[in-house]
Structure 1
Amino acid sequence: MQSRWVWLISKVGRRIWFRATLFSLAAVATALVAIVAAPYIPIGLSAKIGADAVDNILGIIASSMLTVTTFSLSTMVSAYSAATTNVTPRATKLVMEDSTTQNVLATFIGSFLFSLVGIVALTTGAYGEQGRIVLFVVTILVIGLIVITLLRWIDHLSRLGRVTETTQRVEEATVKAIQTYKADRYLGGHPLPAFRHRIGKPNHPIFVAKVGYVQHLDAAALSDIAEEANLEIAILTIPGKLAAPSEPIAWVNREIDEDITGRIAACFSIGDTRSFDQDPRFGASVLSEIASRALSPAINDPGTAIDVISRAIRILAIWAGNDGADNEISHPRLYVTPIDIADLFDDLFTPIARDGAGLVEVSLRLQKALTILSKFKDREYRENAKRHSREALARAEAALTIDQDKIRLRKAALAGKANP
C-alpha cells in the first residue's frame, strides 16, 4: 500500500500540466545546452552551415507548433465532451489522464518553447558560430521527435473519446485496482468481519470533520501510531466508502487523547469524489453506468451493454483468482473491513438488469453471464450469481411483452440454476 506522500505525488504526476512542465523545462535546457557545448565544436565546421539555416527552421517550428498545440487542445476538449456525453462523466478522468495525449501535448509545447528560446538566444548572439552548429543538430533531432509524435497522435485521435476505447480504459483501471487490492486486501492487517465493529472495551470511535469519500488510506502510518500508542485499530471505512462526521471511520480499543485521534483521522484522505486507485467497486460502478447510459432511450445502444457484461465476467474472474489470498500480516495491530463480493455483483449487474429488462438480447446475455459465474468454485459466487439471475428474470418478465421472449429467458435462467 502506498504511503500518503507517494499517493499524492502519483496524483500530481497524472495531471496534464505536470508532464507539460517537465517537457518544457527539458526543452529550455536543451536549447541552452548549445552555449555550454560551443567551445568543443571545431571552428571550421560552422562555415558549412548557412547563417540563417537554424533561424529559419526554428521560426517554422515555433509557428507550426503553436498552431498544432491549439488544434490538439481543442480536439482533446472535444474528446472529453464526447466521453462525458456518450459514456459517463466518471470515465472522463481516465481520458484526461491518458499518457499518450499528455506526452503529445507536452512534446508540442516543449518544441515550441525550444524554438522560442533558440530564436531569442540566436538574436542576442549567445550561441556564437560553434553554438549554432550544436543548435542545428539538436533542432534536427527535435524535428524527428515531432514527426514521430505527430504519427502517434494521428493514430491515437481515431480512438480518443470513443465509447469502446473509454470502456476499455475503465476495465483496465478496475482490473489494476483489483490486483492492488488482492495483493494487500487487508492493508497488511487482519480481516475484520462486518459484525465486529469493536475490538474490545473500553473503545474509542474515530470521526472525520467533513463529508466525502475515502480516496486513500495510509496503513503504514496507522500501524506506526498503533505501535507507538499501544493500540489496536479497527478500520471500518476503506477507500471508496462515504465518510461523514456522524459515522465513525474506525475504532480503537481504549480511550485516547485528541492528538492521537487527530493523527489517526489524518491517515484517511477524504475527497469529494471516488478514485479508481484503491477502489475496485468504483470501476465496477462506472462500467455499469456506461451500460445504463447505452440502454437509455436517447442512445439506444444495447451492444455496449452486452460488451460491458462480458467485461464484468473478466473482472469477476480476476477477482476469483487465488493470487493474494493469503496476505502477509505486516501491520498486526490493524483490523480491516474487506470488500463484500455481493456488493461487487450489485455494482455490476443490478443497473444493467434494471435498465435492460425490456430488451431480450441484453437479458439473455446477462443470464448467460450469470450462468458462467455460477460455475465458479467459490460458494459466494454461486449464491450471488443465482440471486442476480432470479432478480434479473423477475425484472425482465415484468418488462417483456411477448411470451416467447419470456420462455427463452426462463430457459437461459434454468441453465444457471442447474449448477450445484
Structure 2
Amino acid sequence: MSDWMVTQGSSAGRRPRALSPLREHLRDTFWFAPTAAMVSVFVVWVGAQVLDAAIVDALQEDRDYETLDELLRFAEDAKAVVTAVGSAMMTFIGVVFSISLVAVQMASGQFTPRVVRLFVRSRITKATFAVFLATFVLTLLVLTSFDSVEDPRAVTSVPLVQSVLTLGMVGLSLLLFVLYVNATLRLMRISHVIARIASESFRVAASMPVPVGGQEASGLGAVTAWVPHEGRAGVLRDVHVARLVRVARKHGVVLRLIPRIGDFVVPGMPVLAVHGGPVPPRRVLRYAISVGVERTYHQDLGFGLRQLSDIALRALSSAINDPTTAVQALDRVVQFLAALSRRPLDAALYQDRAGAVRLVQPVPRWTELVDLGFTEVRMSAPGNPQVCRRMLAGLDDLLLLAPPERREPLLRHRELLRQAIDVTASTPADREFTLRPDRQGIG
C-alpha cells in the first residue's frame, strides 16, 4: 500500500501514481513512443516468424507439398507488395514530418511558443509516427524472411503470417494518417488550442489536494534544516510527491518545498525546508526534484494562465491585431478563475496513510492568479473596445462568484481598466460604449 494519500474534498480520493512524474516527462518527449513501437514490432515479428516456420514444418510433415507450392507463389506476390509498402512508408513519414513542422511553426508564430508543447504531447501525432516507423521496420524484417528456394521440399519458411501482419500495419497506418491530419488541423485552430490549454489546466487543478478538517501549513514549527539544490540550474518542473512523503514519514519530519513549481532554481539554492527533525540523507532525496529548461503542465497551476495570457497579448499586438482571439483567451481565463474562486489556495498539503501532513507544496495565491490572468492583457486592452467589454463582463461575473475576501484584486483590475479607458477614449460616447460589459466583447 502507498505510504501517502491526499485529501480531496471530504474524503481521501485520488492517489497520483508513484511514477507520475516519469510518465509526464515521457509525454513531453517525442522519442519514447516511436522507439517503443519499433522494439515492440521486432518482438512481434519474431513471434510471427516462429508461427510461419511452424506452419511450414507442419505441412512438410503431412507431405502437403501442393499447399506449400501455393504458399510459395503467394510469397512471390507478397514480396512485391511488401517492397512497395516499405518504399511508401518512407514517403508517408516524410509527409507527416513536414506537416508537423509547418503546424508547429505556424502555431509558435501566431499563438505563442509555449503551445508547441501541445504538438509534442499529442498522442495521435506520436502514434502516427510510431506506427509508420514500426511498419517500415517490419517491412525490412519481413523481406529478410523470404526464401529464394523454389522446391517445396527444401523450403524452411514462408512469411505468410508476417505478410498478413504487414498488411494489417498498412491499414492501421492509413487510418492513423487520416486521424493525424484531422487532429493537426484542429490544433492549428486557435479555439481548439485554447480549449486544450484550459483542459490541461483543469486537470492540474483537479490533481491538487484540497486541505480539509482545519489543515494548515502554518503549524509546522521551526525549520530544523535546509536542503539545497544540487545539479543543473533550470525551471522546477515537478517533485516526486510519493517519494518525498515516504522519506518524510520514515524520518519523522515534514518537508516544505520552498520554490514554487515553475520557478527558476540554481545550484545551492534552498529547495526544501525540514521541520521537526534532522535532514534526511541526500541519497534518499535524489531524483525527487525535477529541473528542466521550460515549464510543464504537471503540478504547475499557473502555467495554463501564463499561456492564455501570452496568446491574448500576441493577439493584441500590432503585428497580429486579432482582438477576437484575445476575447477567446479571456473566456478561458474567466472559466479557470471561476472554478478556483472558492477553492483553498496558497499550499497543497500531502499526507501519509496515517493522516499526518508530510509535504507542503506552495501554489499560487488567488491574488497572484488573478494578476496573472488579467494584468498584462488589461494593460494592452485600451483602444480595443471588444477586449475591454469582455474583461469587464468577466470581472463582474467573478465578483458574483468570489467570496468577499477575494474581491479586492477583481475590483482593483476593474478600476484600473476603467481609468485606462477614461484616458484612451476619444469621446464620451466611445467611453460609455467601451465601459459596457459584454460577454462576447462586441456581440
Q: Give TM-score scaled by structure 1 length.
A: 0.85
Aligned to 1:27: 41
Q: Deviations over 1:66-115 (max 9, x none)?
A: 01101111111111111111111111112111111111111111111111
Separation in 1, partners of 2:335, 2:259: 27
Aligned to 1:163: 190
1:272-283 equivalences under 5 Å are 272-283=293-304
Q: As a proportion of its length, which structure holds more strand?
A: 2
- 1:146 and 2:173 equivalent? yes
- Residues 26 and 267 from structure 1, CA distance in 2 versus in 1: closer, same or farther, beyond 3 angstroms? closer
AA of the residue aligned to 2:190:
V
Identity of aligned residues (%): 21
What's the offset of the Cα at 1:342?
Answer: 1.2
> Which of 114, 131, 145 does residue 158 from structure 2 map onto?
131
Separation in 2, partners of 1:301, 1:89: 17
1:127-276 equivalences under 5 Å are 128=155, 131-181=158-208, 184-185=209-210, 190-192=215-217, 199-201=220-222, 203-209=224-230, 211-244=233-266, 248-253=270-275, 256=278, 260=281, 263-264=284-285, 267-276=288-297
Aligned to 1:408: 433
Please identify, of 271-280 and 221-230, the stretch whose mean Cα deviation from structure 2 is larger.
221-230
Aligned to 2:400: 375
Separation in 2, partners of 1:34, 1:232: 54
- 1:15 and 2:48 equivalent? no
Please identify, of 274-283 and 333-342, the stretch whose mean Cα deviation from structure 2 is larger.
333-342
- Residues 298 and 322 from structure 1, CA distance in 2 versus in 1: closer, same or farther, beyond 3 angstroms? closer
> Which of 322, 327, 345 does residue 306 from structure 1 map onto?
327
- Residues 354 and 68 from structure 1, CA distance in 2 versus in 1: closer, same or farther, beyond 3 angstroms? same
Separation in 2, partners of 1:76, 1:187: 45
Which SS does the other structure have where 1:273 is aligned?
Answer: coil
User: What residue ranges of structure 2 are gaps of 5+ in the alignment?
Assistant: 1-14, 439-443
**Contact in 2 for aligned 1:218/1:268 (Cα 8 Å):** yes
**Contact in 2 for aligned 1:237/1:337 (Cα 8 Å):** yes
Separation in 2, partners of 1:208, 1:187: 31
**Contact in 1 for aligned 2:256/2:360 (Cα 8 Å):** yes
What's the offset of the Cα at 1:380?
Answer: 4.4
Separation in 2, partners of 1:56, 1:265: 54
- Residues 400 and 204 from structure 1, CA distance in 2 versus in 1: closer, same or farther, beyond 3 angstroms? farther
What's the offset of the Cα at 1:11?
Answer: 1.3
What's the offset of the Cα at 1:58?
Answer: 0.4
AA of the residue aligned to 1:178:
A
Q: Give TM-score scaled by structure 2 length.
A: 0.81
**Contact in 2 for aligned 1:189/1:334 (Cα 8 Å):** no
Separation in 1, partners of 2:281, 2:205: 32
- Let me know the Cα RMSD of the aligned residues: 3.4
What's the offset of the Cα at 1:370?
Answer: 0.9
Separation in 1, partners of 2:214, 2:144: 59
Separation in 1, partners of 2:362, 2:214: 10
Q: As a proportion of its length, which structure holds more helix?
A: 1
Separation in 1, partners of 2:171, 2:198: 34
**Contact in 2 for aligned 1:238/1:337 (Cα 8 Å):** yes
What's the offset of the Cα at 1:393?
Answer: 2.0
Aligned to 1:418: none
Separation in 1, partners of 2:292, 2:213: 23
Question: How many pairs does the alignment contain?
Answer: 406
